[in-house]
Structure 1
Amino acid sequence: MTGKGGTGKTTVAAALAMALAAEGGRTLLVEVEGRGGIAQLFDTPPLPYAETRIAVAPNGGEVYALPIDPEEALLEYLEMFYKLGRAGRGLRRLGFVDFVTTIAPGLRDVLLTGKAYEAVGPRRGGRQEYDAVVMDAPPTGRIGKFLNINTEVAGLAKGGPVHNQAESIMRLLRSPRTAVHFVTVLEEMPVQETLDGITEISGIGLPVGSVLVNMVRSPALPPAALEAARAGTLDRASIGAALRKVGVSAEDALLDALLSEAAEHAERVALETTERADLVATGQPVLELPSLVEGIDLSALYDLATLLREQGVRRADAPASGGTA
């Protein structure tokens, strides 16, 4: 899940995880930016570097969360491939971990995506632990570089464990098991970033999923009134009469303000209509989630998850048609 900052990417990622778990399965919600957004959404204390159950979905499904810490992931990596054990832990005190991930930023992305890769594979006696993994990934401006780790690692390692790990991750990312979803709002800059992001992701051979339009607001006026407001032809006298009918003094200043606000609203609706058409023209499924004036809490996440399912979101292996996950 990617999107321009401010579009509600983390919220939509959490709602998607809830929607996928609603089929009775287990979903892992992965965070890679270290902002603690998942803990805030689910109103829990800061989450440890461990897979922690944070919600129960309808039908007995479960949502787990994992905030991936690059330092811990690197130490795990050193233990897994080089059997450093306690010696690896000692490297933390020497500042080695920060040094390595600074001079080799491609390695950092291998570590972050590698943890999600491990969660997708079979574990615990060959059993697959999760039915779906949702990654709250970096913003659209960085998503291509983040996911195209093979290119990043090419200059770092021509072979060996790092190279092999990157190759395995890229095979998963390019497979039908993966989809890169984009979150946006109906504003010019976020929509343009989404269009550019879809082009970039497609260009590096990664599968694009759905476009999720967040914080959608319904028009406050019917179509005919919107057209008149935009053209500046609303009936001022009729509006004044309606105000007086409900006991409001129809002063010129108030009427001027109302007509101006109606015109601005009509312009916004027209812009949103254009932006929506541009998103639909990509050919990707376009889903919409409403603006929630009361804010986001766990109850709101359940509501958003329900709306996603009503629009056809299902796991790819679920027995239902129209799935987009």
Structure 2
Amino acid sequence: MSARDSDWDGVRLHVVTGKGGTGKTTLAASLALALASGGGKVLLVEVEGRQGIARLFDCPPLPYEERRVAVAPDGGDVHALAVDPEAALLEYLEMFYSARRAGQALTRFGVVDFATTIAPGMRDVLLTGKATEAARRRVRRDRTRRGEDNAPFVYDAVVIDAPPTGRIAQFLNVNAEIAGLAKVGPIRNHADRVMEVIRSPETTVHFATVLEEMPVQECLDGIDEVRGAGLNVGSIMINMVQSPLLDADLLAAAPSEVDVEQLTRGLKAAGLDATESTVTQLSAELVEHARRLSVEEGMRKRLLAADRPHYELPSLTDDMDLAALYHLAGALRDQGAAA
């Protein structure tokens, strides 16, 4: 890993949430690439069953198995895992009750699907449990040797492509509710371990948004809700930011007026069409562009008032592919999101 400091030194579990349409999955994948840069090993976890990560990395649908999907800039690996609640439940039963065979029998009768459908909190328990287990997993050593607890972690960081902002606090806090119901036993012990990781300084929640009213308001509401649940708020990732097309002085005047004569002279000087219809159309587009940038600046000020590190990611005109992910990962690194 690079020796340069980042905003998130010491954080091992990165939870990325955001309103639909803000590019949450894309930013989670880009963050994973950024964190792995320079020789790191990062696990990117998908919990919503949409196979969005597989599409981004142009690979076959992910099984319930950790596999490498990309090599990060300057070396390092990104592995990915699509968490399947049914497989996670079988793993859970084997881990705590040595009852995998019983779990497989339940699966054949459809009991697992029934349980996770009528009790969606059970699904979240399995999903968060798997992600936190990966974050604290250490390299296995010969058990005859001492110092097992000091073995290096398997992954330098784990990134969760988490549920949308409106559900994130409930998703992360579900094990606290389970712990309140199960007073003793392995279920309580498991819930306590998961919440210990989620509430620790090693875990933080990042919010993806764009510079529009509804996503910005949902982002700010989500930050308040996560803080209220006693969880750590990370960064605000402002996605799809468009650069101004004109200089600041011209944009400042554009919302109220456009100097038509000056625009006409400029078009003629450049050898372009300067007919009345062209000038009228360009004037209207200029005013609209300036108004949009003015609104976006107001949204940006609201987000900055939350007093969290923030990163601005450019709007990319081409289809999202692996090259675009590398570009966004580089932007995150340059702004301090990763060393």
TM-score by length of 1: 0.93
Match of 1:263 among 283, 287, 300: 287
Whether 1:162 aligns to 2:177 is no
* Structure 1 residue 57: Cα displacement: 1.3
Separation in 1 of the partners of 2:222 and 2:213? 14
Q: Say if 1:245 and 1:133 are closer, same or farther in 2 by CA, change over 3 A.
A: same
SS of residue matched to 2:291: helix
Separation in 2 of the partners of 1:166 and 1:116? 13
Query: Which residue does the alignment assign to 1:65?
Result: 80
SS of residue matched to 1:66: strand
- Asked if the contact 1:104–1:156 (Cα under 8 Å) also holds between the matched residues in 2, the reply is no
Tell me the amino acid that sits aligned with residue 291 of structure 2: E
Equivalent runs, 1:107-256 vs 2, <5 Å: 107-123=122-138, 124-125=140-141, 126=148, 127=151, 128-153=153-178, 156-232=181-257, 234-256=258-280
Separation in 2 of the partners of 1:249 and 1:287? 39
Runs of 4 or more above 4 Å deviation = none
Q: Alpha-carbon deviations, 1:61-112, whole Å to 9, x = none?
A: 1110001011110111111112123231121110110111122221111100
SS of residue matched to 1:47: coil
Separation in 2 of the partners of 1:60 and 1:255? 51
SS of residue matched to 2:244: coil
TM-score by length of 2: 0.89
* Structure 1 residue 247: Cα displacement: 4.0
Query: Which residue does the alignment assign to 2:38?
Result: 23
Q: Alpha-carbon deviations, 1:242-266, whole Å to 9, x = none?
A: 2233444433332222111111111
Query: Which residue does the alignment assign to 2:8?
Result: none
**Consecutive unaligned residues in structure 1, runs of 5 or more:** 316-325
- Asked if the contact 1:141–1:193 (Cα under 8 Å) also holds between the matched residues in 2, the reply is yes
Query: Which residue does the alignment assign to 1:306?
Result: 330
Q: Alpha-carbon deviations, 1:10-59, whole Å to 9, x = none?
A: 11111111111113111000000000010000000111110000111133
Match of 2:317 among 293, 303, 310: 293
**Consecutive unaligned residues in structure 2, runs of 5 or more:** 1-15, 142-147
Query: Which residue does the alignment assign to 1:272?
Result: 296
Separation in 1 of the partners of 2:295 and 2:49? 34
Query: Which residue does the alignment assign to 2:20?
Result: 5
Separation in 1 of the partners of 2:278 and 2:34? 45
SS of residue matched to 1:169: helix
Fraction of identical pairs, as percent: 59
* Structure 1 residue 153: Cα displacement: 1.9
Q: Say if 1:249 and 1:314 are closer, same or farther in 2 by CA, change over 3 A.
A: closer
Tell me the amino acid that sits aligned with residue 159 of structure 2: V
* Structure 1 residue 159: Cα displacement: 3.0
